[in-house]
């Protein structure tokens, strides 16, 4: 009997527990189920507007000096001094001496040349005096007939005159070589490279360094034929007074953007055979002075962006830049439903997009970021406050 109770008792307890749980579950009230309506997506929108615009042509190019030369001496000698301005990045004025070459030999050559001029001048005076005497003797002693040039000492006078001119030319050359010991350039500029120092012997034609003028710099801009058409510029264009298109040049240095103003002065007369593009030349005056942006020059070697305003007016739909999605698509909210449209883009900038087709005036284009869009999905427009106030004022 004890064995039977020992086996039956646990089973009875387990059965009682299961029965209690089932009884409690049956007595529990049913949970009321609520079906929530799907939430409508709220999106920021802006209205499309239309206007007559001029497309802005954008290009890039590298800044180069209009005048860029290798500095070489015209005479030989040892360098005895170098100007402090003749250093990489140094600025110099027109005619200032950048390098001085030892001129001792050239000063001696000038002295010797002057002595030969005096000698030739004395000889000419002697020959002229002899010619005068011979002419007088002919007139006194010979009656009738014309004297020969030799009888009047004419060949000797001509020879003495030629020797004097040669001596004067030698003196001018000696003085010119003496002046050339002062190496300078006839323009205001900057030093790009320096290759020599004091004590170095140089010969005529040795490259002393490289300098460039700072009165003007140029930027070569590659343009397509359609861009040239927008600017109304023919191949081979050369700007005249008043008809040079303005160009805005910019670049970012650190966290700041700098801007400079220039003009298109000419367009190349040939098409690049490799790229099939045409290069327009933009020119900026005094880029290291008055043409600088708050003291920041348009330095040679910079890579800049160029923006040129076209001359042909066109009708375009204007959208916010945020409205343009990948593959030239925009999302339009109409009657509470989203539409996906493909547009034909004419031009883009940081703020706006100019569109030729695909939207209409008054369309509400979505500017909010949207992860996934399905054609016809429900959405609610959030109109900017400025747009609401404008609409209320118009009413």
pLDDT number for residue 3: 64
Structural fold of domain 69-102+185-214: OB fold (Dihydrolipoamide Acetyltransferase, E2P) (2.40.50)
Q: Where are the alpha helices (DSSP H) in the chain?
A: 2-27, 104-141, 154-179, 225-231, 385-394
> How many angstroms separate the CA atoms of 102 and 177, rounded?
11
Is the CB of residue 48 less than 8 Å from the CB of residue 362? yes
> How many angstroms separate the CA atoms of 344 and 331, rounded?
14
Angle, CA 345 vertex, CA 344 and CA 350 arms, to 5°: 155
In DSSP terms, 211 is beta-bridged to: 69, 191
Spell 271-297 as b/e; 16+ CB within 10 A means b.
Answer: eeeeeebbbbbbbbeebbeebbbeeeb
pLDDT number for residue 59: 92
- Prediction pTM value: 0.68
pLDDT number for residue 41: 82
pLDDT number for residue 138: 78
Query: How would DSSP label each residue in 176-229?
Result: HHHHTTEE--SS-EEEEEE---TT-EE-TT---EEEEESSEEEEEEEE-HHHHH
Q: What is the CATH number of domain 43-53+314-394?
A: 2.40.420.20
Q: What is the token pair recorded at 53?
A: 């615009």
pLDDT number for residue 109: 96
- Cα dist from 86 to 185, 216, 363, 374, whole Å: 12, 20, 64, 68
DSSP designation for 270: S
Listed by start position, the domains of the chain span: 43-53+314-394, 56-65+215-313, 69-102+185-214, 107-180
pLDDT by residue (tens digit) across 245-266?
899 999 998 889 999 999 999 9
In sequence order, what are the residues at sequence separation of 6 or more whose Cβ sits closer than 8 angstroms to the Cβ of residue 152?
131, 134, 135, 138
Q: What is the pLDDT along the chain (395 residues), one digit of tens a residue?
A: 666 666 666 676 677 676 666 766 666 666 666 666 567 788 899 999 999 888 888 899 999 999 999 999 999 999 999 999 999 999 999 999 999 999 999 999 999 999 999 999 999 999 999 888 888 887 777 766 677 787 788 899 999 999 999 999 999 999 999 999 999 999 999 999 999 999 999 999 999 999 999 999 999 999 998 888 888 889 999 988 777 889 999 999 888 999 999 999 999 999 998 989 999 999 999 999 999 998 899 999 999 999 998 877 888 999 999 999 988 999 999 888 899 999 998 888 788 899 999 999 999 999 988 888 888 888 888 887 654 333 333 32
> How many angstroms separate the CA atoms of 115 and 167, rounded?
9
Place of tokens 């002062």: 182
pLDDT number for residue 392: 32
Closest CA to 216 of 251, 244, 185, 188: 188
pLDDT number for residue 390: 38
Fold: same for 56-65+215-313 and 69-102+185-214? no
Superfamily for domain range 56-65+215-313: Efflux pump adaptor protein, beta barrel domain (2.40.30.170)
> How many angstroms separate the CA atoms of 73 and 106, rounded?
14
> How many angstroms separate the CA atoms of 377 and 339, rounded?
8
- The three-state secondary structure class of 115 is helix
pLDDT number for residue 42: 86
pLDDT number for residue 395: 29
């Amino acid at each position: 009997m004890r064995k039977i109770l020992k086996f039956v008792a646990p089973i009875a307890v387990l059965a009682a527990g299961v029965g209690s749980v089932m009884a409690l579950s049956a007595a529990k009230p049913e949970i009321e189920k609520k079906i929530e309506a799907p939430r409508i997506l709220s999106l920021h929108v802006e209205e499309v507007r239309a206007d007559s615009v001029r497309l802005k042509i954008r290009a890039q190019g590298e800044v180069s000096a209009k005048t860029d030369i290798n500095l070489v001496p015209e005479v030989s000698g040892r360098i005895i001094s170098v100007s402090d301005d003749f250093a990489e990045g140094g600025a110099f004025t027109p005619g200032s001496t950048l390098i001085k070459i030892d001129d001792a030999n050239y000063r001696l050559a000038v002295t010797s040349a002057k002595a030969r001029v005096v000698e030739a001048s004395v000889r000419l005076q002697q020959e002229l005096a002899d010619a005068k005497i011979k002419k007088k003797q002919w007139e006194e002693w010979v009656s009738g007939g014309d004297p020969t040039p030799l009888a009047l000492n004419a060949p000797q006078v001509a020879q003495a005159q030629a020797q004097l001119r040669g001596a004067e030319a030698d003196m001018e050359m000696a003085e010119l070589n003496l002046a050339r010991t002062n190496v300078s350039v006839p323009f205001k500029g900057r030093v790009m490279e320096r290759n020599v120092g004091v004590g170095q012997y140089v010969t005529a034609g040795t490259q002393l360094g490289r300098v460039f003028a700072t009165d003007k710099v140029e930027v070569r801009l590659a343009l397509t034929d359609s861009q040239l058409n927008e600017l109304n510029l023919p191949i081979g264009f050369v700007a005249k007074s008043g008809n040079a298109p303005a160009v805005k040049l910019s670049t970012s240095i650190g966290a700041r953007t700098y801007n400079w103003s220039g003009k298109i002065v000419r367009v190349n007369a040939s098409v690049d055979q490799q790229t099939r593009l045409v290069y327009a030349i933009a020119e900026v005056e005094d880029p290291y002075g008055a043409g600088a942006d708050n003291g920041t020059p348009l330095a040679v070697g910079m890579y800049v962006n160029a923006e040129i305003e076209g001359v042909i007016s066109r009708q375009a739909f204007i959208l916010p830049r945020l409205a343009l999605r990948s593959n030239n698509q925009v999302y339009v909210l109409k009657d509470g439903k989203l539409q996906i449209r493909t547009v034909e883009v004419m031009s883009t900038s940081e703020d706006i997009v100019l569109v030729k087709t695909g939207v209409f005036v008054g369309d509400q284009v979505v500017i909010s970021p949207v992860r996934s869009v399905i054609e016809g999905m429900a959405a609610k427009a959030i109109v900017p406050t400025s747009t609401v106030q404008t609409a209320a004022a118009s009413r």
